[in-house]
Structure 1
Amino acid sequence: MSASLPDLAVVYEHPEWFEPLFRALERHGVSYVKVPLAGSTFDPAASPAPATVVFSRVAMSSFLRDPEHPIFYAQSLFEHWQGLGTRVVNASALNIDTSKARQMSLIARLGLKGPATRVAHRQADIPAAAQGLRFPVLVKADIGGAGAGITRYETPEKLAEAAGEKWCPVGVNGISLIQEYAPRRDGKVTRVETLNGKYLYAIDIESPGDAFDLCPADACLVRPGAPTLTMTKAEPSAEIIAAVERIAVEGGLEVGGVEYLVDERDGSVLFYDINGLSNFVANPVQVLGFDPHDDLVEWLKTIIADEKAKRGGDLAA
């Protein structure tokens, strides 16, 4: 590859979400190129990566903004670049990020607790799958984002009616989750962000009523119709932090978050969402006392340096 390549390519779909990242890259003097997925094509027999290191910023909520979303395309593109020897940061998170069913399986496999969940791929099977669950239940699309496609059903009859009319939420991959609704203690959930498999920070997010759109980033908060969120720095227990770090490592999240709530009914900690795309909290210095984008960029710089050293060694050999 050419020595004149930029250090980093940031591959993304949302046109506004990553301005804080771009500003941090500029503060730290990293040469980078923006690669929006709109308009992207590639040649499987060619098409080298546009930079020494590629950073995936693919959002699962992209299907809400464009029916021709890049979720599955990005997986093929990143695998192509990886096959050519390019380091694609956080591509490993896409397998877990693209399926809430896989997320819940991972949580259970690690011996952690989540809301009781069933998975179906036909609407006709949803009522039977819900048998044995406590109502109300939530039906979720397997690929979500920004709380999309989450509907609450109070009774088995209401669920059966919706499934019979094919009104229940279905993911863009045709899969639905049926999940016991758990009331949040103090009306809040906690989002724990990780970097390179280690705890970075945590925030409590409080929302009005049962809002499920809990994206904490600047660009999310200004969207028309977005719920009013209150975000405060949180201090999870060492046990919860250790659990989140296990989820991050086993789920392949190099940069990502895990959300949990405390069930008001019995005080149990329920892990319910794994996010392979971290939109860091708005006003981070005010909320956290530091800007996590600086930590992210410093870590990316070490990866870039490692890749350059590796390529230099390959050339020398």
Structure 2
Amino acid sequence: MKKIYIIHENNEWTAPLLKGLDELGLPYEDWFLDKGVLDLSVEPPEGVFYNRMSASSHTRNHRYAPEYTGAVIAWLERHGRKVINSGRALQLEISKIAQYTSLNAHGIRTPKTIAAVGKEQIIEAAKKFSGPFITKHNRAGKGLGVQLFQNIDALKKYVEGSSFDEPIDGITLIQEYIQSDEPFITRCEFIGRKFLYAVRVDTSQGFQLCPADACQIGDAFCPVGEIEKPKFEIIQGFMNPILEKYEKFLEANGIHISGIEFIMDKNGEIFTYDVNTNTNYNPDAELKAEVFGMKEIARYLGDELEKIDMA
């Protein structure tokens, strides 16, 4: 029997999707890939394989889950199986450098970024920025390693101090700080490479960008304000030429389901800074707007499974 296979390492994030699949009566199997055994001489089962592996898996003691998932996806693709969010998508999930270079190749502007390995190299790289800058992990998720610095001295204290957060892949990114008129970012959600909706994320009380859990990285990044609006709010009727570029970018990289985040500076210029291929959705915002991402994903996976049955 052909099924939908959910590849992941976080039950909490996946639960809403499994509920959606159950409601539609779709056959599925949960593949929790934090560890396992892969026999390359055996053919994989028939079905649709949805890759939801996360770059932040190591924070949940699943250090090698992305590497193992990469091996599994290579095996699936070798045998011509339908993989939603391909091996290339996984490469982008675990490397912001890969994200930025591909975004730039599709005419999508990203903040000025320098990659550095080594504490001395981080400090030297930061000297190339004339204004405030941030650091972040190349392999991140959940805002790992994001810190705002006004000058090199502050960076030195951080890098040489006990609180320095070593990236799991050893690569620290130094990036220009984009100042916007209002404290919010925009996250555009795509399913089947088609735009679903955009959500406005309030950053006035911290840069919590993960809709499904608390990804607080400190108020030092975004000053505390007294805005009483919801943290996540779906923007009705959002339209912008950037959406067409995003869709072409997704197609070129084998990404079917994703959330892409951007910030707009004081001049109205859009800077794209993150691509999430294991995207999550905020239930309160969706309930208010009466649109539900996980249900849409479940329908999409069901449609893809039906295409295989008809082939």
TM bucket, shorter chain? 0.7 to 0.9
1:79 to 69, 74, 77: 74
Alignment of 1:185 onto 2:186: no
Structure 2 residue aligned with 1:156:
152
2:44 to 45, 49, 57: 49
- Comparing 27-36 with 50-59, greater Cα deviation is found at 50-59
- Paired residues for 1:145-294 under 5 Å: 145-164=141-160, 168-209=164-205, 211-217=206-212, 220-221=213-214, 230-234=231-235, 235-264=237-266, 266-283=267-284, 285-294=286-295
Alignment of 1:125 onto 2:127: no
Structure 2 residue aligned with 1:313:
none
Distance 1:229 1:118, change over 3 A: farther
Task: String of CA shifts for 1:58-108, please: whole Å, max 9, x gaps.
Answer: 111111111534011111111112223322211241121111111121222
Alpha-carbon distance, 1:50 to partner? 4.8
Q: Which amino acid in the other structure matches residue 198 of structure 2? A: A
List alignment gaps of at least 5 residues for structure 1: 311-317
* Identity %, equivalent residues: 23
The DSSP-based 3-state class of the residue aligned with 2:37 is: coil
Alignment of 1:15 onto 2:11: yes
In the alignment, the residues of structure 2 paired with residue 19 and residue 50 of structure 1 have an alpha-carbon distance, to the nearest angstrom, of 23
List alignment gaps of at least 5 residues for structure 2: 220-228
Conserved 8 A contact 2:102-2:249: yes
In the alignment, the residues of structure 1 paired with residue 151 and residue 161 of structure 2 have an alpha-carbon distance, to the nearest angstrom, of 16
Q: Which amino acid in the other structure matches residue 115 of structure 2? A: V
- Comparing 135-144 with 290-299, greater Cα deviation is found at 290-299
- Comparing 173-182 with 297-306, greater Cα deviation is found at 297-306
Q: Which amino acid in the other structure matches residue 21 of structure 1? A: L
Q: Which amino acid in the other structure matches residue 254 of structure 1? A: H
Conserved 8 A contact 2:187-2:260: yes
Conserved 8 A contact 1:135-1:153: no
Alignment of 1:107 onto 2:103: yes
Structure 1 residue aligned with 2:139:
143
Distance 1:155 1:226, change over 3 A: closer
Conserved 8 A contact 1:151-1:169: no
The DSSP-based 3-state class of the residue aligned with 2:13 is: coil
The DSSP-based 3-state class of the residue aligned with 2:167 is: coil
Aligned residues: 300
Task: String of CA shifts for 1:95-136, please: whole Å, max 9, x gaps.
Answer: 211111111212222222221111122322222222331332
Task: String of CA shifts for 1:197-225, please: whole Å, max 9, x gaps.
Answer: 2111110010344x3331012xx15x899
Alpha-carbon distance, 1:285 to partner? 4.1
Conserved 8 A contact 1:120-1:126: yes
In the alignment, the residues of structure 1 paired with residue 108 and residue 204 of structure 2 have an alpha-carbon distance, to the nearest angstrom, of 28
